[in-house]
Amino acid sequence: MYGGKIDETGNVTTELWVFHISNHSWVPLVPKAKEQYAVVGHSAHMVTLQDGTAVMLVLFGHCPLYATNTWSILQTRGALVQGGYGHSSVYDENSNSIYTHGGYKAFSANKYRLTDDLYKYEVRKYK
Protein backbone atom coordinates (compact mmCIF):
# COMPACT_ATOMS: atom_id res chain seq x y z
CA MET A 1 0.00 0.00 0.00
CA TYR A 2 1.52 3.31 -1.06
CA GLY A 3 0.56 6.86 -0.08
CA GLY A 4 -2.93 8.20 0.45
CA LYS A 5 -4.75 10.66 2.67
CA ILE A 6 -4.10 9.86 6.32
CA ASP A 7 -6.41 12.17 8.27
CA GLU A 8 -9.36 14.56 8.03
CA THR A 9 -7.06 17.60 7.59
CA GLY A 10 -6.04 16.36 4.14
CA ASN A 11 -2.46 15.35 5.00
CA VAL A 12 -1.05 12.96 2.40
CA THR A 13 1.63 10.38 3.11
CA THR A 14 4.55 8.81 1.25
CA GLU A 15 4.41 5.67 3.41
CA LEU A 16 4.88 2.27 1.77
CA TRP A 17 3.51 -0.84 3.51
CA VAL A 18 3.56 -4.53 2.60
CA PHE A 19 1.04 -7.11 3.83
CA HIS A 20 2.39 -10.57 4.67
CA ILE A 21 -0.31 -13.10 3.86
CA SER A 22 1.38 -15.89 5.83
CA ASN A 23 1.04 -14.17 9.23
CA HIS A 24 -1.58 -11.48 8.42
CA SER A 25 0.67 -8.57 9.35
CA TRP A 26 1.49 -5.15 7.87
CA VAL A 27 5.14 -4.02 7.76
CA PRO A 28 6.39 -0.55 6.73
CA LEU A 29 9.09 -0.38 4.02
CA VAL A 30 11.61 2.34 3.18
CA PRO A 31 11.83 2.74 -0.61
CA LYS A 32 15.16 3.44 -2.30
CA ALA A 33 13.65 5.89 -4.83
CA LYS A 34 15.44 9.23 -5.26
CA GLU A 35 12.17 11.14 -5.37
CA GLN A 36 9.05 9.93 -3.69
CA TYR A 37 5.79 11.87 -3.85
CA ALA A 38 2.93 11.89 -1.41
CA VAL A 39 0.03 10.86 -3.63
CA VAL A 40 -3.70 10.35 -3.19
CA GLY A 41 -6.47 9.00 -5.42
CA HIS A 42 -4.05 6.72 -7.28
CA SER A 43 -3.49 2.99 -7.56
CA ALA A 44 -0.18 1.14 -7.51
CA HIS A 45 0.88 -2.32 -8.63
CA MET A 46 4.06 -4.37 -8.42
CA VAL A 47 4.77 -5.63 -11.94
CA THR A 48 7.60 -7.34 -13.82
CA LEU A 49 8.99 -5.54 -16.86
CA GLN A 50 10.13 -7.33 -20.01
CA ASP A 51 13.75 -7.37 -18.78
CA GLY A 52 12.66 -9.12 -15.56
CA THR A 53 12.93 -6.03 -13.35
CA ALA A 54 10.25 -5.76 -10.67
CA VAL A 55 8.89 -2.20 -10.33
CA MET A 56 5.95 -0.42 -8.74
CA LEU A 57 3.78 1.42 -11.26
CA VAL A 58 1.73 4.28 -9.80
CA LEU A 59 -1.31 5.12 -11.91
CA PHE A 60 -3.08 8.47 -12.02
CA GLY A 61 -4.07 10.20 -8.77
CA HIS A 62 -2.65 13.55 -7.76
CA CYS A 63 0.06 15.01 -5.56
CA PRO A 64 -0.26 18.14 -3.40
CA LEU A 65 3.49 18.82 -3.71
CA TYR A 66 4.71 20.40 -6.94
CA ALA A 67 7.70 22.34 -5.61
CA THR A 68 10.43 20.27 -7.27
CA ASN A 69 9.10 20.78 -10.81
CA THR A 70 10.53 17.35 -11.66
CA TRP A 71 8.42 14.55 -13.09
CA SER A 72 9.30 11.15 -14.48
CA ILE A 73 6.98 9.99 -17.25
CA LEU A 74 7.09 6.49 -18.65
CA GLN A 75 7.26 6.57 -22.45
CA THR A 76 4.23 4.58 -23.55
CA ARG A 77 2.50 3.73 -26.82
CA GLY A 78 -1.13 3.36 -27.81
CA ALA A 79 -4.13 5.56 -27.10
CA LEU A 80 -3.74 8.80 -25.14
CA VAL A 81 -5.43 8.51 -21.76
CA GLN A 82 -6.60 11.35 -19.55
CA GLY A 83 -5.63 10.53 -15.98
CA GLY A 84 -7.92 10.97 -13.04
CA TYR A 85 -8.24 9.94 -9.43
CA GLY A 86 -10.37 7.69 -7.26
CA HIS A 87 -10.42 4.82 -9.80
CA SER A 88 -10.02 1.08 -9.24
CA SER A 89 -7.40 -1.06 -10.90
CA VAL A 90 -6.24 -4.65 -10.90
CA TYR A 91 -3.10 -6.36 -12.21
CA ASP A 92 -3.61 -9.60 -14.17
CA GLU A 93 -0.43 -11.71 -14.09
CA ASN A 94 -1.59 -13.98 -16.94
CA SER A 95 -1.83 -11.13 -19.45
CA ASN A 96 0.71 -8.91 -17.63
CA SER A 97 -1.84 -6.10 -17.91
CA ILE A 98 -3.38 -3.56 -15.56
CA TYR A 99 -7.10 -2.86 -15.93
CA THR A 100 -8.27 0.54 -14.65
CA HIS A 101 -11.94 1.48 -14.22
CA GLY A 102 -13.91 4.58 -13.29
CA GLY A 103 -12.86 7.38 -10.99
CA TYR A 104 -13.06 11.14 -11.43
CA LYS A 105 -11.84 13.10 -14.47
CA ALA A 106 -11.47 16.80 -15.13
CA PHE A 107 -13.86 18.09 -17.78
CA SER A 108 -12.86 21.73 -17.37
CA ALA A 109 -10.41 23.68 -15.22
CA ASN A 110 -12.57 23.36 -12.10
CA LYS A 111 -15.14 20.61 -12.81
CA TYR A 112 -14.72 16.90 -12.19
CA ARG A 113 -17.21 14.08 -12.60
CA LEU A 114 -17.34 10.31 -12.30
CA THR A 115 -16.58 8.24 -15.38
CA ASP A 116 -17.28 4.68 -16.45
CA ASP A 117 -14.10 4.35 -18.54
CA LEU A 118 -12.19 1.06 -18.65
CA TYR A 119 -8.53 1.00 -19.72
CA LYS A 120 -6.06 -1.82 -20.26
CA TYR A 121 -2.33 -1.14 -19.86
CA GLU A 122 -0.01 -3.86 -21.20
CA VAL A 123 3.04 -3.66 -18.93
CA ARG A 124 5.57 -5.36 -21.22
CA LYS A 125 4.46 -3.43 -24.32
CA TYR A 126 4.23 -0.03 -22.56
CA LYS A 127 0.77 0.55 -24.05
Reference 105, options 44, 62, 45, 58; nearest CA is 62
**Residues 3-62 pLDDT 10s:** 777 777 777 777 777 888 899 999 988 766 666 667 777 788 888 888 888 777 777 766
Q: Which is it for the CA torsion 81, 87, 93, 95, positive or negative?
A: negative
Q: Phi and psi of 58, rounded to 5°?
A: -105, 125
Q: Which residue has the higher pLDDT, 101 or 1?
A: 101
Q: What pLDDT, on the 0 to 100 scale, is given for residue 97?
A: 92
pTM exceeds 0.75: no
Provide DSSP, the chain: -EEEE-STT--EEEEEEEEETTTTEEEEE----S-----BS-EEEEEE-TTS-EEEEEES-B-S--TT---------SS-----BS-EEEEETTTTEEEEE--EEEEETTEEEE---EEEEEGGGT-
**Residues 69-115 pLDDT 10s:** 444 556 677 776 776 778 888 899 899 898 988 888 877 777 888 88
Indicate the domain borders of the chain: 39-122
Q: What pLDDT, on the 0 to 100 scale, is given for residue 95?
A: 92
